[in-house]
């Protein structure tokens, strides 16, 4: 079991103990939280950002998820169980934020660079694919992220989002089709630009 007691001493624990000035070190819950944030914080923030498309809201969800972990203090059967719990809580908080957005307007692609390193790790921010994923319905956006970025299998995704694996596969299929349709015009434009550039270069060589 992975929890407050008997937690392995890792880098986060050492940092927490050092920060306590040697006076007995940080309490076990604080060490556990520091370790979880160090090892799984990027996954939580990536998922929140992919769902909300807003850096400030994603940061807020990140803080709320780990505060809930600290206050809840559950026991976990290893890191995979903890990771699944954190991502499930993240999805739920993102849904709450998305419902609240009906009362306010936000720029869906603004300030992505503020999440230092996390967007770059996913390799998507600022790309055509990132923009296309942002236009998908919420349920498709979640399964695309969990499948391609976090590497979950469809049955695991089903447990995280609360549906059958067959439903996850259907959403993945529909999401891929929508992404192809969204990206095809851009690819055709790029191919046309490449052909024109090649033609211009050929003409220049003949001159």
Question: Which pLDDT score is estimated for 111?
Answer: 38
DSSP per residue, 85-96: HHHHHHHHHHHH
Q: Is the pLDDT of residue 67 over 50?
A: yes
68 against 201, higher pLDDT: 68
Q: Is the pLDDT of residue 7 over 60?
A: no
- Would you say the pTM of this structure is higher than 0.85? no
Size of the chain in residues: 207
CA atoms of 203 and 86, how far apart (whole Å):
58
CB 45 within 8 A of CB 115: yes
CA dihedral of 45, 46, 51, 52, whole degrees rounded to 10? 50
CA triplet 7, 11, 12: central angle to 5 degrees? 70
Residue range 99-145, pLDDT digits in tens: 876 555 444 433 333 333 344 444 555 567 778 888 889 899 999 99
Question: Would you call 32 helix, strand, or coil by DSSP?
Answer: helix
Question: Would you call 166 helix, strand, or coil by DSSP?
Answer: helix
Paired residues of 76 in beta bridges: 2
Paired residues of 159 in beta bridges: none
Buried b (16+ CB within 10 A) or exposed e, 128-142: ebbbbbeebeeebbb
């Amino acid at each position: 079991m992975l929890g407050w007691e008997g937690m392995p001493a890792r880098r986060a624990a050492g940092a927490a103990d050092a920060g306590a000035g040697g006076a007995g070190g940080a309490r076990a819950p604080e060490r556990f939280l520091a370790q979880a944030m160090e090892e799984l914080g990027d996954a939580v923030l990536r998922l929140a950002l992919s769902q909300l498309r807003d850096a400030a809201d994603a940061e807020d969800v990140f803080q709320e998820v780990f505060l809930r972990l600290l206050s809840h203090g559950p026991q976990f059967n290893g890191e995979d169980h903890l990771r699944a719990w954190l991502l499930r809580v993240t999805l739920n908080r993102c849904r709450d934020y998305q419902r609240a957005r009906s009362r306010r307007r936000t720029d869906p692609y603004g300030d992505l660079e503020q999440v230092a390193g996390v967007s770059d790790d996913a390799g998507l921010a600022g790309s055509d694919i990132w923009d296309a994923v942002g236009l998908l319905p919420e349920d498709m956006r979640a399964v695309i992220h969990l499948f391609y970025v976090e590497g979950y299998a469809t049955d695991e995704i089903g447990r995280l989002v609360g549906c059958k694996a067959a439903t996850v596969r259907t959403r993945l299929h529909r999401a891929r089709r929508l992404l192809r349709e969204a990206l095809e015009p851009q690819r055709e434009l790029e191919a046309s630009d490449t052909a024109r550039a090649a033609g211009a270069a050929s003409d220049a060589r003949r001159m």
